[in-house]
Structure 1
Amino acid sequence: MMLEVIATCIDDALTAEANGADRLELITAITEGGLTPGIGLVRQAVRSVQIPVHVMVRPHSRSFVYDKRDLETMAAEIEAIADAGAAGIVVGALTGEGRIDEAVLDALLPKAQGLQVTFHRAFDELEDQLEGLQTLLRYPQVTRVLTSGGPKPAPQAIPAIRRLVEAANGSSLRILAGNGLTPEAVVSFIQQTGVTEVHFGSAVRHGRSGLSPIDPVQLRALSDSLLAI
């Protein structure tokens, strides 16, 4: 079971690694769903931990629909992130009609050669997620989808997530479940959905607040419970 934890600073990164995280999602602006962190933070995080660092590529929080200037910004960020030695990027884009924007993927993925690519929770704004998954399956560089199975928290979308896991079975694409998971209920959630990767943010922080530091006791207990599956 792969445990991904959100990090917003070096202290988060070190605490996460020391207490059982298998991978980091490095972001800034956690209260806005995550934006691209500064390249200095990316470089320092990569140097500071041994686990993979996946970096958010999201230029603003207005929407997941991007124009030419946004695309140029994202391309430059991906090049800098790759140069910093990160293991992957976290990216997503939609058309004005609410479908996956393949033109954006076609433009950005060549910049991400050698990196793992997670399509982020823009996926949860799709009307037909199974259709969206089939679109992403045409892009072998996209290695996982971060999703809660729709607009609701993941624990309220267990059947939808199970269908996505089944649809991706046999491919190189993994379903990374996140949003609303708790350490207390995650084992049951995994058993019901069949996911092999889970994503935690505020639920492993002091007071379960996104703006608080990671709680090492809470994270270690979560990690230990996942190891026991």
Structure 2
Amino acid sequence: MIKESCIENFSDALNAQKSGADRIELCENLAVGGTTPSYGTIKTCTEKLNIPVFVMIRPRGGNFVYTPEELEIMKMDIDCCKQLGIQGVVFGLLTENDEIDLENTQMLIEYARPMQVTFHKAFDELSDLTKGLDQLIGMGVDRILTSGTKATAQEGSEILNQLISYSKGRTIIVAAGKVTKSNLPTLSKAINTNEFHGKQIV
């Protein structure tokens, strides 16, 4: 099982590694759902940690509809991650109609390679989850972070299992939503994935 710890500074990342996290999702400003961390934070994590680091690429809190200028910022942040040898990046782009921004998502996926790409919980705002899943699989997304549209992974477990079954291994569904060290054993039995994500997962 992969335990991805969502943290917002180097100290917490180091503690998560010591506590048994298998991977870090590195953010800042978790109060608004996470934004891109500083260059210095990313660089220090790559130098001091022994586990993979996935970096949030999100220029601000709020919605997931981005201007051309914000997309350029995201590309520059992706460049930094590439230069520093980061293993993966995390982003999500939507349209005003709660659909995936296909053109810009495809552009950023291709721009981010050879790093792995996770489409984050913006996925849960889609009006049609299976359509979105097909689109992301078609674009080659490695992972989708989701709580099955619910507040918690426990509440979303039925939808999560439907998504996992539908994806047939074509992408990895990472279960999120109040996943903690204490409820992980129960959730791992209830949800048919081996990747879980949480702020208190270790």
- Shorter-chain TM range is over 0.9
Q: Measure the CA separation in 2 of the matches of 1:133 and 1:5.
A: 24
The amino acid of 2:167's aligned partner reads: A
> 1:27, 1:36 within 8 Å by CA — same for their partners in 2?
yes
Q: CA RMSD in A?
A: 1.2
1:196 corresponds to which of 174, 194, 197: 194
How much does 1:167 deviate?
Answer: 1.2
Q: Measure the CA separation in 2 of the matches of 1:117 and 1:49.
A: 20
Report what 2:135 is aligned to. Answer: 135
Q: Measure the CA separation in 2 of the matches of 1:128 and 1:15.
A: 38
Q: Measure the CA separation in 1 of the matches of 2:136 and 2:35.
A: 22
Report what 2:32 is aligned to. Answer: 32
What secondary structure is seen at the aligned counterpart in 2 of 1:137?
A: helix
What secondary structure is seen at the aligned counterpart in 1 of 2:5?
A: strand
| TM-score, normalising length: structure 1 | 0.85
The amino acid of 1:71's aligned partner reads: L
2:181 corresponds to which of 180, 183, 206: 183
The amino acid of 1:147's aligned partner reads: T
What secondary structure is seen at the aligned counterpart in 1 of 2:28?
A: coil
**After the TM superposition, which segments of 4 or more aligned residues of structure 1 sit over 6 Å from their partners?**
none
How much does 1:106 deviate?
Answer: 2.2
| TM-score, normalising length: structure 2 | 0.96
Q: Measure the CA separation in 1 of the matches of 2:135 and 2:188.
A: 25
The amino acid of 1:166's aligned partner reads: S
Number of residue pairs matched?
A: 202
What secondary structure is seen at the aligned counterpart in 1 of 2:89?
A: strand
How much does 1:3 deviate?
Answer: 0.4
Q: Measure the CA separation in 2 of the matches of 1:154 and 1:23.
A: 19
The 3 A distance-change label for structure 1 pair 101 and 17 is same
How much does 1:187 deviate?
Answer: 1.8
> 2:106, 2:139 within 8 Å by CA — same for their partners in 1?
no
Is 1:144 matched up with 2:143?
Answer: yes
Q: How does 1:1-229 map to 2 (within 5 A)?
A: 1-140=1-140, 142-171=141-170, 173-201=171-199, 203-204=200-201, 219=202
